[in-house]
Chains A and B, each alone.
Chain A
């Protein structure tokens, strides 16, 4: 990755020393030489080291030029090793996960994952440069053009929210943007904490998305800045229930809450939970043992005339401030009314029985069985659930049901005796199928929706249900329970509010054991009733997410303190009011589950695409991308020094200098003369001795 990649075109220059060497080899001179004997000796001796030295010199020179070229190309160092170096980036798409879990701080405290990610993106993108910057944030999921990366720290669309992210949807938005604008080289930078809930890695949308991106002829590269580490000692508080009950002694608010921690605590820890209720504050001590602390129906006395209100519970600050508080609203419970539309009143008796028995004495459950003709006479504003066992609605019936569905009412369709071609939400009944023997339920979804496990974790006895006769379904739907032969038993139509269900058999004896094994039917109906009643009262607990336009979010007013934009109230935790109603907006339950997508699974999501990932931690102030030209300059200098050292002439032997001193000496003549003389003198001396004798 280089700031000035065009300088890399000069890279072939690194072969210059080799070329010069080769040319030099060819540029020899011939010389007549007498002392070949020593030349041969020297040449023989020098073969090994000299050759290595020659190659080392060549290597040093090549490295020096390489270092210089790379240095002037201004290389960038980072974990994003495969970031494009060749062509200039035309558009940079920034996909920012603003979910509640991104508010988690690093081990050293300080900046959150989101803040760190923003800063890293600003630094990196400022260095890389791009013609256009587009932000797609997880809360709005809309593409917003930025003038520069610096805006990431100044615009409100980058602050943390309570809503979960829907990364596949963000990818879809990115795809739509690229598809609509057809930019040049595009870089997609994704900053997320890779929570499983946000990524929906098991969903089918990724395959579609990947194929769509692969079909693009445009060069698109994906980079993931992942903050996958999870604070083990982070605690999250959540209100599971806030009910206003009238007792003989007065009016109480029964508050149930739970505190969760990923790793179990040693022994027992008392956590002071601060309760803010209609402006007043108090503290409740909750004892945490293991990973969960639960407070069940803690009674808080209310004034008798206090019909509805709101409150907030919070725990002391820890790694993630966003999950340390939870808002709730309460109201006088409303009666839960069920309308059963039936063509055969006797056949729906089990349904009426199940819907009419209230699981809680604080509210009543009313059931009214009518025919389709009587729909107009119903007070729809008080209906929580419709159980429809007749031909699917059409005409005026359809309008009434649509209106009811649009305001959040729940409906479960059961098959009529003789289905026609009517359809609802893209689903219609086909023909009845009689089975030779009682067929049990094969699979069902136990983690959510109508057939979810009980609060204790125990699953509903859905597997005990037996079906003898069912009506086939056609159309797009999500199957919540299927028979062993694969036919859907209970399914949900794909609507925005997720409030339209189909049950492919009836509770009539001889068709299924829904009535006989009534637990499943009872739970299913009362869960639908509960969901339906939530939209009827003047208070509602909402999950932070984009609300449908019918909720009229723009007219919400903040009741609790908040610093968010009014257009984003629905994704920011808090209490809001609209006309007579109160809304408590909180993060989803999944945000408290610190489960991340596995590295391999995540890489598979981008299989076939140009993708790389770098893991960062919250609070990291070291830039992801740094200019490292100094390193290459140092390399060049080191190579030059090495080259100079290798080229240094060897230190001359002292004898080399002394050679010339010997020139012209008389050689051995003196010694020989001396010897000769001394012999002569010896001879003379002996003669003299003889004479003397």
Chain B
């Protein structure tokens, strides 16, 4: 039903969703869910996957004693198994003014809608709870995670109607989310991250401290990288700041140097703070991007 509803959404392509549904979304850390699912739980449970041997203590269920181990060692061991649970997928969407940029047919926000919509659908489909947090200078919209398929409609509605306005207060807002989202959630942040990387690192480490599995989709436009213009331009700040008049040919070298430095720093801080960092150019096929993202997590799970 949700898929049928999604046909009316421009950012959801059912065929893409159908193709990606074959690849499950795994978390990299143990998640705390409230129902059974496909994700590892921090607690021991009744799954078929062996976890560890533990010394028997009085009160343990005698049915869980490993008699073979007793036979070999003359000691009582209890055999424990992993618990499988679902996860809470918190999608954080940057809706600041800068996300409205796009030199091609699509803006960063539209690209983000596709990523988030598809991820939400896949997560709901595999029984995970999905929430959405639209942020700009503050948390603009906040939808708590739910796992019911009907929850998707509301989430898609918010996603569809969200508008890119205001300045970015990304770091402050991420700190706030790190505290408000319950521990052990998968947080997917989709933003252009035009903030100071060192401040961003602190926010990421805050989330890591809260045992969240953080993924950052860094959206960039080709023109933002190349900075190729033929004539003098007046650059109007999309977030309401002062405009700048510049001769692009004169400053292209310095611009690119600053951009490359920033990107290198971003890569470094995400590595240091164990963030799954996905740098994406918005003219890339989002299906491929998501497929690689999901597949990489699947490979990690298997090994």
Contacts and interface: CB of A to CB of B under 8 A. Distances in A.
Interface of A: 24-25, 27-43, 45-46, 50, 53-54, 649-650, 653, 655-656, 659-660, 662-677, 683-684, 687, 690-691
Contact of B276 (A34, A40, A664, A668): A668
Interface stretch (B5-13, B17-25, B154-162, B254-262): B254-262
A564 to B, nearest CB: 76
Nearest to B296: A666
B233 A28 contact: yes
A46 B250 CA distance: 7
Given A669-B296, A683-B52, 10 more contacts: A29-B232, A30-B233, A37-B194, A665-B278, A665-B279, A668-B276, A669-B276, A669-B278, A674-B303, A691-B69
A42 B296 contact: no
Contacts of A675: 274
| Interface bin, chain B | 35 or more
B258 A38 contact: yes
B121 interface: no
Given A667-B270, A687-B53, A25 B251 contact: no
B34 interface: no
Interface in B232-251: 232-239, 241, 243-247, 249-251
9 contacts: A31-B234, A32-B101, A39-B244, A650-B253, A655-B264, A666-B293, A669-B278, A672-B274, A677-B303
Contacts of B181: none
B233 A46 contact: no
B16 to A, nearest CB: 16
A673 B28 contact: yes
A664 B281 CA distance: 8
Nearest to B213: A672
B28 A39 contact: no
B180 interface: no
Interface stretch (B56-64, B111-119, B143-151, B284-292): B284-292
Given A40-B244, A46-B250, A670-B296, A664 B235 contact: no
Given A24-B231, A664-B289, A687 B52 contact: yes
A664 B231 contact: no
Given A43-B244, A673-B28, A676-B28, A29 B234 contact: yes
A46 B249 CA distance: 11
Nearest to A658: B260
B300 A36 contact: no
A669 B300 contact: yes
Contacts of B192: 34-35
Nearest to A659: B225
Nearest to A50: B250
Contact of B254 (A28, A29, A46, A664): A46
The 8 closest A-B pairs by CB, nearest first: A673-B300, A667-B277, A34-B98, A42-B255, A34-B101, A42-B254, A666-B296, A33-B235
B300 A674 contact: yes
Contacts, number: 184
B44 interface: no
B194 A53 contact: no
Contacts of B235: 31, 33, 36, 39
Nearest to B52: A687
Contacts of B236: 30-33
Contacts of B296: 666, 669-670, 673
Nearest to B232: A28
Contact of A691 (B73, B263, B288, B303): B73
Nearest to A51: B250
B276 A667 contact: yes
B260 A655 contact: yes
Contacts of A36: 194, 235, 237-239, 241, 244
Interface string B46-72: 000000110000000000000001000
A43 B251 CA distance: 6
B104 to A, nearest CB: 14
A30 B252 CA distance: 17
A243 B68 CA distance: 164
A46 B257 CA distance: 12
B194 A672 contact: no
A41 B252 CA distance: 11
Given A33-B235, A46-B250, A691-B73, A653 B300 contact: no
Contact of A42 (B194, B245, B258, B288): B258
A665 B280 CA distance: 8
B37 to A, nearest CB: 18
Q: Which of B77, B281, B297, B300 has the most CB of A within 10 A?
A: B300
Contacts of A669: 28, 215, 276, 278, 293, 296-297, 300
A41 B254 contact: yes
B279 A663 contact: yes
A36 B255 CA distance: 10
B238 A32 contact: yes
Contacts of A665: 278-279
Nearest to A647: B249
Nearest to B97: A34
A656 B267 CA distance: 15
Nearest to A54: B250
A594 to B, nearest CB: 67
